């Protein structure tokens, strides 16, 4: 299909009785010289770049350093097709392309001219296009004529046509306008790193005017990304141009870690260290912030707007998360004047300059904000140095073994090892401003550990904190979730507007001095109706936010609804627990040298740069406790428990907190895992209905292994707890653990076409043996389903389950089910099977030894299934827990789908949805039980230290979707108009930050009782989410993780949409071909499927027989009556009318009844057989 035909096809969307606009943009691609710090200063600290150690790392030029200026390619907007007059964009947009916008129904025409020296394209998120306007090059089975959009060569032009259709536009529950992004997609990771990215704003009908969103006074777009200039197409040019000694530039080692680090620009719109200009607004203005994440594995961002309250998805906050290709839209009323800090709170990013300033000006002197009229709540808090023990019992409570062996990496003291005790600093509460009597913690507060005291306030309250610094260094208190005057900010930064040269007292409280902070909870800034009573924030010291928090200064802060506190405590809950998940990096503590001198046996021999030493000081803790040492998490069955969860730390602090045994409610959705990130907090509610001791663990594998585990206990405290539900339905699955040879890439055709041959493919690093690697085939262990408990015949996967790949069978359960898993271990190691979300008889998961069979029983009460505000079905996972990490990486995982009960589905009468379960995970074969076997089998002469070789280690990290790489995942096939549930799953380690992006279609997901739209969903270890799609646009569409390294490593495939009734002919990825009648009959008569056929037949037969018999009976009665009346009348002259009527009526009725019965039986039999055959063959 040519470009003009495609344009006509898309423009047809306008020929409806709704006014729509065609918006034209003339976009040119040009190469420019971009300066990440044009002022030459760290504006945040008012220092020259060369005076700032951290800034100089990235921005100072040198013999082998590029500095702050880089050649980049950018999108620029022009007035017309001559491309001679550029339309000036706002300075704050930086190197981003121009803001494009559209309302629902609008057509966007992008006339792209490539004035760069390389070929590029333009591809957009969140909008409708067909194959001639997708702008993304990949094997999608299109013709050469349909690929002109995928590559625009230097000097060439192309017109793209996009339509904002109803399936992409914001839902009624979304805000008026949503951010999306457009970028070049010829080679997306390199193109984006080179600078080709810009914002697209998509809006509801009638919400835009010539200035943008009608509901906003100002709209700003901010993109947070670590711009990786090492990945740019222009790296060699930049080395040649900017390294100061050309004689050495040619010999620069581009793989040198320090050189690569210097080229990572932690930027906001391409600016670092406060150089982003012109973020300005007036008091009273309505501001819409459109936030975009982009980049790689390091691009986990927590965006903090100091001193402000934001609205995000209808809830209040002051910090939001961003990941590669995720988009967030927050609204803010600028009612707090001052020069405010805007920053990413991830430790590494703070230090590297991902900060900006925005100004709220007093433009209208009459604007007056009334003071809150609530209570004044006073706290007396001191910072004190303490000796902290991360595991007072010295025992790993998960295994019962001593930590000097089980956790020796972290707890064994030595010549150059500190052990488990560290000098730290902690917030402590006192009774009054004399700071002589410290408040003792109650038994309910024991679990707080290293955390400071809990500060609580209701909406419209004022919080006064008298803070005394009893430590040996300057510290402060910086809160989240409240407002304060800019002079009361606890963060140290240069505030040009305030005209202060010396730091304000609030930002730097010197040792031995006291400062009183005053914070307020503004009206309309607290929890909303569907929030819990109290929403979770925290406070921390921010003189140096990284070193201060790494040293221990952090505490919980709750903002509550009015009239929900009594004597300063929550009155509507039985228990309140706080959990801070973080890897306390003691290498970043102010007290590292003190700890080396006090606890190592040979302090002078310690090398602080040694990687093993640094690793030993990374304490994977919950509230400062590791390996189950956290005390005080005890509750009663049936209690109403509020859990207040927070994250803190660096790029590695991706936490999936999994609560075994009992489920949580979060914003009207039910789950048992909550993801937290640095400076992001959540409140979740629990009403425990399972008793015993359970674990709360971080599902990130390194964190689990490193000790981020705690125990909580549920006791029976009352005789009147509600009785357990009775499970009325039972189903049985026969599942075995089997060892197989698994091929991650059985066919390299897709990869070969993608990279124009295998020579240049990045896949060679993973799936090509090259004489020293294992290749694509690994011995693994997987769950597979069998037909019965004899385990002699494996159940063949139907076409609609072909996509499961390495995953075990999709286990379905409805609320009210009792699910029996008959599990046989056919492998050579001990394994088990454990599921998220279900109830079991005991908390412990029994192990099954090789050759043994064991039945695991799972119960699915109402509390295990989705709420009525979620989709009908929710997804979780089942896996082996003998060794959680090694079992997982060896292959043992599968999807568990729990649904609200549907009797139509139970009887097999109706296939309500198409279902696809996708696990995005890097299978780390270095952690598999079978690594030695795989080395022995696949490498003829392995080197002695092969398992320590970095290239070998990297080659064993398989970036798969369901264990398949580079388009090898088959079976993602659907038809236009289908209702599709995508069950998205994330598991794995710190690198397992995945943003699943669907080309061609958007999807809906539910949260807070509403439905929201996206085309990218973020997945992390322990994330399980159902998203719903109604495919509308035929084609073979790309589905991939948007993290740059994961794209290159093969985490890509396609899903196929065909027209209704059309067969999949000659399509590589099409496996759901319609069956012939003969094959359908064979399928039905297979003993695995005969049961569903018989059930369907019986139901249809009974219904049709009753209907036909009732009709026949009525007809028989009327016919008999009429015939009898006529006959009786005729013979009544000879005999009595009554006698003749009775005789004739009985005879005729008996004959009619028998005929009716036989006819009804035969008709019902035939109809039922045909219906059942059609239903079963359709399901087949």
Which segments of 501-640 does DSSP mark as H helices, in order?
Answer: 545-550, 592-599, 611-616
Nearest residue to 716 (alpha-carbon basis) of 769, 660, 656, 639: 639
**CA distance linking residue 1170 with residue 1164, whole number of Å:** 10
Whether 698 is a known active-site residue: answer yes
Contact 126, 171 (CB under 8 A): no
**CA distance linking residue 94 with residue 1143, whole number of Å:** 101
Tally of residues, the chain: 1180
Q: Where are the beta strands (DSSP E) in 115-203?
A: 123-124, 157-163, 177-183, 197-203
Contact 578, 623 (CB under 8 A): yes
For residue 89, the SS3 value is: coil
Contact 97, 196 (CB under 8 A): yes
For residue 652, give Cα distances in angstroms to 325, 584, 588, 677. Answer: 19, 11, 14, 9
**CA distance linking residue 513 with residue 1080, whole number of Å:** 83
**CA distance linking residue 167 with residue 176, whole number of Å:** 15
For residue 563, give Cα distances in angstroms to 465, 520, 573, 646. Answer: 22, 16, 13, 24
**CA distance linking residue 386 with residue 1046, whole number of Å:** 43
For residue 138, the SS3 value is: coil
CA–chain centroid gap for 1073, Å, is 33
Nearest residue to 1015 (alpha-carbon basis) of 185, 313, 124: 124
In sequence order, what are the residues at sequence separation of 6 or more whose Cβ sits closer than 8 angstroms to the Cβ of residue 144? none
Give backbone dihedrals phi and psi of 441, rounded to 5 degrees, phi first.
-75, 135
Sheet with 1035-1041: strands ordered across: 973-975, 1052-1058, 1035-1041, 994-998, 1016-1019
**CA distance linking residue 728 with residue 798, whole number of Å:** 28
Q: Per DSSP, what are the bridge partners of residue 898?
A: 813, 874
Contact 230, 263 (CB under 8 A): yes
For residue 802, the SS3 value is: helix
Give backbone dihedrals phi and psi of 915, rounded to 5 degrees, phi first.
-120, 135
DSSP string across 864-929 = GS--TTS-SEEEEEEE--TTHHHHHHHT-EEEEEEE---HHHHTT-----EEEEEEEEEEEGGGST
Q: How many C-beta atoms lie closer than 10 Å to residue 915's C-beta?
A: 21
Cα torsion 645, 649, 655, 658 to 10°: value is: -40
Nearest residue to 593 (alpha-carbon basis) of 583, 606, 582, 610: 606
DSSP collapsed to 3 states, 542-566: ECCHHHHHHCCCEEEEEEECCCCEE
Burial code (b: 16+ CB inside 10 Å, e: under 16) for 315-342 equals: ebbbbbbbbbbbbbbbbbbbbbbbbbbb
Tokens of 887: 């079992």
Which of these is catalytic: 177, 243, 344, 698? Answer: 698
Nearest residue to 506 (alpha-carbon basis) of 478, 480, 482: 478
> Which positions are catalytic?
698
């Amino acid at each position: 299909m040519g470009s003009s035909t495609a344009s006509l096809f898309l423009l047809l969307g306008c020929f409806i009785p709704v006014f729509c606009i065609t918006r034209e943009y003339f976009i040119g691609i040009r190469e420019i010289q971009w300066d990440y710090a044009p002022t030459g200063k760290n504006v945040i600290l008012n220092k020259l770049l060369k005076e700032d150690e951290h800034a100089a790392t990235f921005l100072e030029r040198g013999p082998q350093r590029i500095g702050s200026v880089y050649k980049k390619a950018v999108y620029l907007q022009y007035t017309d097709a001559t491309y001679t007059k550029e339309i000036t964009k706002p300075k704050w947009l930086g190197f981003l392309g121009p803001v494009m916008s559209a309302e629902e129904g609008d057509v966007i025409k992008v006339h792209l001219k490539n004035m760069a020296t390389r070929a590029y394209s333009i591809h957009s998120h969140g909008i409708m296009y067909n194959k001639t306007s997708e702008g993304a090059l990949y094997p999608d089975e299109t013709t050469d004529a349909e690929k002109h959009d995928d590559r625009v060569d230097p000097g060439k032009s192309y017109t793209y046509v996009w339509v904002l259709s109803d399936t992409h536009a914001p839902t009624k529950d979304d805000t008026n306008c949503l951010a999306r992004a457009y970028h070049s997609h010829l080679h997306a990771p390199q193109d984006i790193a080179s600078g080709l990215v810009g914002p697209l704003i998509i809006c509801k009908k009638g919400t835009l005017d010539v200035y943008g969103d009608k509901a906003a006074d100002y709209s700003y777009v901010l993109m947070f990304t670590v711009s990786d200039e090492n990945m740019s197409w222009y790296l060699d040019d930049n080395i040649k141009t900017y390294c100061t000694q050309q004689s050495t530039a040619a010999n620069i080692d581009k793989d040198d870690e320090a050189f690569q680090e210097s080229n990572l620009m932690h930027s906001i719109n391409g600016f670092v260290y406060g150089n982003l200009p012109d973020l300005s607004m007036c008091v009273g203005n309505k501001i819409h912030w459109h936030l975009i994440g982009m980049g790689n594995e390091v691009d986990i961002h927590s965006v903090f707007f100091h001193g402000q309250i934001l609205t995000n998805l209808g809830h209040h906050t002051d910090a939001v998360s961003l990941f590669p290709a995720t988009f967030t839209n927050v609204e803010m009323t600028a009612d707090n004047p001052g020069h405010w800090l805007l920053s990413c709170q991830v430790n590494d990013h703070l230090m590297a300059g991902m900060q900006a300033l925005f100004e709220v000006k007093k433009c209208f002197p009459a604007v007056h904000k009334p003071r809150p009229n609530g209570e004044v709540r006073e706290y007396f808090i001191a910072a004190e140095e303490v000796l902290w023990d991360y595991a007072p019992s010295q025992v790993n409570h998960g295994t019962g073994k001593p930590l000097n062996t089980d956790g020796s990496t972290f707890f064994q003291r030595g010549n150059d090892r500190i052990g488990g005790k560290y000098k730290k600093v902690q917030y402590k509460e006192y009774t009054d401003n004399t700071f002589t009597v410290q408040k003792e913690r109650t038994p309910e507060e024991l679990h707080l550990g290293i955390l400071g005291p809990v500060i609580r306030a209701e909406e419209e309250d004022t919080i006064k904190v008298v803070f005394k610094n009893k430590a040996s260094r300057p510290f402060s208190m910086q809160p989240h979730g409240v407002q304060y005057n800019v002079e009361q900010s606890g963060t140290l930064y240069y505030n040009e507007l305030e005209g202060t040269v010396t730091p304000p007292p609030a930002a730097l409280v010197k040792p031995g001095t006291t400062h009183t902070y005053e914070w307020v909870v503004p009206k309309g800034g607290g929890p909303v109706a569907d929030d819990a009573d109290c929403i979770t924030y925290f406070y921390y010291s921010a003189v140096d936010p990284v070193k201060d928090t790494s040293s221990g200064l952090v505490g919980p802060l709750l903002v509550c609804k009015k009239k929900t506190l009594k004597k300063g405590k929550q009155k509507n809950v039985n228990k309140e627990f706080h959990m801070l998940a973080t890897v306390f990096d003691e290498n970043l503590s102010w007290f590292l040298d003190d700890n080396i001198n006090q606890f190592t046996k040979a302090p002078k021999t310690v090398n602080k740069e040694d990687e093993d030493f640094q690793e030993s000081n990374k304490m994977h803790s919950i509230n400062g406790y590791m390996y189950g040492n956290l005390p005080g998490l005890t509750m009663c069955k049936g209690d109403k428990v509020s859990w207040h969860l927070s994250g803190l730390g660096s790029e590695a602090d991706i936490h999936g907190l999994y609560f075994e045994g009992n489920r949580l409610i979060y914003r009207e959705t039910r789950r048992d895992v909550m993801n937290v990130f640095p400076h992001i907090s959540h409140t979740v509610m629990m009403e425990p209905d399972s008793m015993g001791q359970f674990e709360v663990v971080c599902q990130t594998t390194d964190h689990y292994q490193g000790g981020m585990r705690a125990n909580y206990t549920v006791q029976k405290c009352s005789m009147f707890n509600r009785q357990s539900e009775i499970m009325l339905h039972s189903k049985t699955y026969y599942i075995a653990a089997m060892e197989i040879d698994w091929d991650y890439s059985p066919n390299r055709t897709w990869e070969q076409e993608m990279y124009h041959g295998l020579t240049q493919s990045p896949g060679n690093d993973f799936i090509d043996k090259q004489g020293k690697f294992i290749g694509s085939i690994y011995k693994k262990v997987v769950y597979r389903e069998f037909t019965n408990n004899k385990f002699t015949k494996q159940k063949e996967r139907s076409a609609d389950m072909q996509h499961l790949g390495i995953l075990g069978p999709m286990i379905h359960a409805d609320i009210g089910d009792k699910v029996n898993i008959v599990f046989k271990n056919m492998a050579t190691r001990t394994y088990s099977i454990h599921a998220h979300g279900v109830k079991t008889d005991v908390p412990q998961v029994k192990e099954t030894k090789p050759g043994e069979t064991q039945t695991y029983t799972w119960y699915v009460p109402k509390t295990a299934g989705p709420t009525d505000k979620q989709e009908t079905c929710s997804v979780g996972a089942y896996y082996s827990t003998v060794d959680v990490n090694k079992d997982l990486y060896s292959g043992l995982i599968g999807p568990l789908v729990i649904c609200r009960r549907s009797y139509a589905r139970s009887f097999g009468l109706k296939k309500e949805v198409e279902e696809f379960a996708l696990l995005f995970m890097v299978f780390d074969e270095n952690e598999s039980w079978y690594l030695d076997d795989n080395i022995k089998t696949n490498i003829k002469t392995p080197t002695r230290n092969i398992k320590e070789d970095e290239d070998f280690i990297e080659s064993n990290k398989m970036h798969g979707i369901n264990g398949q790489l580079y388009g090898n995942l088959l079976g993602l096939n659907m038809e236009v108009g289908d209702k599709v549930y995508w069950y998205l799953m994330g598991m794995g380690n710190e690198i397992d930050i995945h943003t699943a992006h669907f080309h061609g279609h958007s999807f809906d997901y539910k949260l807070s009782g509403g439905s929201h739209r996206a085309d990218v969903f973020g997945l992390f270890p322990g994330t399980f989410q159902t998203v719903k799609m109604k495919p509308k646009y035929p084609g073979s569409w790309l589905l991939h993780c948007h993290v740059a390294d994961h794209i290159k490593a093969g985490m890509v495939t396609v899903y196929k949409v065909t027209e209704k009734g059309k067969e999949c002919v000659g399509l590589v990825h099409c496996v759901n071909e319609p069956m012939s009648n003969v094959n359908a009959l064979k399928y039905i008569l297979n003993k695995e499927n005969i049961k569903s056929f018989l059930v369907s037949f019986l139901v249809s037969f009974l219904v049709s027989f009753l209907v036909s018999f009732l009709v026949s009976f009525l007809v028989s009665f009327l016919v008999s009556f009429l015939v009898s009346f006529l006959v009786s009348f005729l013979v009544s002259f000879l005999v009595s009318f009554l006698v003749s009527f009775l005789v004739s009526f009985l005879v005729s009725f008996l004959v009619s009844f028998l005929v009716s019965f036989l006819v009804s039986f035969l008709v019902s039999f035939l109809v039922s057989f045909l219906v059942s055959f059609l239903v079963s063959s359709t399901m087949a």
